[in-house]
C-alpha cells in the first residue's frame, strides 16, 4: 500500500534535507533570468530584483530556488505530492497533461524548468492586520488567480533584511546569532512551502493548489496542505505559526 510505504520511507527521509545540504555544498549557481521580486503596499508594487539594498533577501531567495532545483530528494517528495493529487482529482490529471503537452509523467526537468525559467514572481506584502501569516498563493476563485506569483510576509523579510541589534534586544551576541539563524531557517521553509503551492498551481491548475487528499497533510479544517506535506516529508517536521493577534496588531 502506498500509505504504509510512505510511512516507512518517512523515517529514512527524516533529516534528508540536511544530509543533502551537508554532502553537496556546491549548489549550482544557475541563472534565474525571469526572477522578479517586488515590494507591495496599498499604492504600488516596486521591483527590487536588482536593488542592492535587498541583497540579503535576494540571496536567500536564490539559495532556496537553487536548492530545490538541485535536490533529488525534494523532487522525489514534490513528485509524490503531485502524483497523489492526480490519482484523486481527474481535473488535475487533465491539467498536468495540458501543461506537459502530453500524457507523460512529471519528471525532474519539468520542475527545474518551472523554477528556473518560469519562476513565480515573489511579492513581499505586509502581514500586519492581514488574515494570512507568512505567505500565500492565490487560489482559483480569487482575482488574479491565473498569475504565476506568490506572496510572502514583508515583516518577516524585513526582520531578516534588517535584524534587530544586540543593544535593542539586550541579549548576548550568541543568543542574537541563534535568533538570526532561526529566523533565516523559518524564512527559507516558508518560501519552500509557498513554492510547493505555486508548483501545484502551475502544473495542476489554479483550482487545484492544495486539495484535501487522503495521505497528504491537512490543515485540520478540511483543507489539504501540499506545503505542509513537503515540509513534513522533506524536512522531517512542519512549522506552524502560533501568535497572539494583539502582539502583531498596530497600536490604535
180 or 238: whose CB is closer to Zn ion? Answer: 238
37 or 195: whose CB is closer to Zn ion? Answer: 195
Cβ-proximal residues to 193 (8 Å cutoff; 6+ apart), any chain: 135, 227, 228, 230, 231, 239
211 or 227: whose CB is closer to Zn ion? Answer: 227
Q: Phi and psi dihedrals of 53, rounded to 5?
A: -60, -25
Contact map string, positions 178 to 217, toward Zn ion, x by CB under 5 A: ----------------------------------------
Q: Which stretch binds Zn ion (CB under 5 A): 9-17, 64-72, 157-165, 219-227?
A: 219-227
State the minimum distance, in angstroms, from the CB of residue 224 to Zn ion.
9
For β-strands 121-125 and 149-153, DSSP reports them as parallel
- Name the grid cell of 92: 488535475
| Structural contact between residues 196 and 72, judged by C-beta atoms closer than 8 angstroms | no
State the minimum distance, in angstroms, from the CB of residue 235 to Zn ion.
14
- Name the grid cell of 133: 501569516
Q: Which stretch binds Zn ion (CB under 5 A): 50-58, 109-117, 155-163, 223-231?
A: 223-231
Helices 72-88 and 173-204, axial angle in degrees (round to 10): 40
- Name the grid cell of 192: 519552500
104 or 223: whose CB is closer to Zn ion? Answer: 223
Binding residues for Zn ion, rule CB under 5 A, total 1
State the minimum distance, in angstroms, from the CB of residue 22 to Zn ion.
27
State the minimum distance, in angstroms, from the CB of residue 135 to Zn ion.
8
| Structural contact between residues 61 and 122, judged by C-beta atoms closer than 8 angstroms | yes
61 or 226: whose CB is closer to Zn ion? Answer: 226
58 or 208: whose CB is closer to Zn ion? Answer: 208
The reply to whether 227 sits near Zn ion by the rule CB under 5 A is yes
119 or 199: whose CB is closer to Zn ion? Answer: 199
Question: Distances in Å between the alpha carbon of 119 and those of 61, 79, 112, 141, 202?
Answer: 11, 18, 10, 22, 10
Residue whose Cβ sits closest to Zn ion: 227
Q: Which stretch binds Zn ion (CB under 5 A): 73-81, 138-146, 179-187, 225-233?
A: 225-233
State the minimum distance, in angstroms, from the CB of residue 175 to Zn ion.
30
Positions touching Zn ion (CB under 5 A) are 227
Amino acid at each position: 500500500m502506498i500509505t504504509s510505504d510512505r510511512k516507512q520511507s518517512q523515517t529514512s527521509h527524516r533529516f534528508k534535507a540536511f544530509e543533502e545540504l551537508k554532502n553537496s555544498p556546491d549548489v549550482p549557481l544557475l541563472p534565474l533570468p525571469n526572477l522578479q521580486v517586488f515590494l507591495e503596499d496599498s499604492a504600488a508594487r516596486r521591483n527590487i530584483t536588482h536593488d542592492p539594498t535587498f541583497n540579503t533577501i535576494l540571496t536567500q531567495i536564490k539559495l532556496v530556488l537553487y536548492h530545490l532545483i538541485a535536490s533529488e530528494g525534494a523532487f522525489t517528495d514534490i513528485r509524490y505530492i503531485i502524483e497523489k493529487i492526480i490519482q484523486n482529482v481527474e481535473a488535475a490529471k487533465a491539467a498536468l497533461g495540458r501543461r506537459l503537452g502530453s500524457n507523460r509523467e512529471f519528471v525532474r526537468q519539468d520542475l527545474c524548468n518551472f523554477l528556473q525559467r518560469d519562476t513565480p514572481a515573489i511579492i513581499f506584502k505586509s502581514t500586519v492586520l492581514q488574515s494570512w501569516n507568512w505567505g500565500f498563493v492565490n487560489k482559483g476563485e480569487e482575482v488574479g488567480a491565473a498569475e504565476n506569483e506568490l506572496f510572502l510576509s514583508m515583516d518577516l523579510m524585513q526582520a531578516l533584511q534588517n535584524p534587530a541589534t544586540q543593544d535593542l534586544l539586550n541579549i548576548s551576541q550568541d543568543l542574537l546569532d541563534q535568533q538570526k539563524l532561526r529566523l533565516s531557517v523559518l524564512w527559507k521553509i516558508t518560501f519552500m512551502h509557498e513554492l510547493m503551492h505555486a508548483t501545484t498551481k502551475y502544473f495542476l491548475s489554479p483550482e487545484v493548489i492544495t486539495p484535501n487528499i487522503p495521505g497528504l497533510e491537512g490543515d485540520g479544517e478540511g483543507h489539504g496542505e501540499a506545503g505542509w506535506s513537503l515540509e513534513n516529508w522533506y524536512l522531517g517536521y512542519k512549522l506552524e505559526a502560533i501568535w497572539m493577534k494583539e502582539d502583531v496588531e498596530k497600536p490604535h
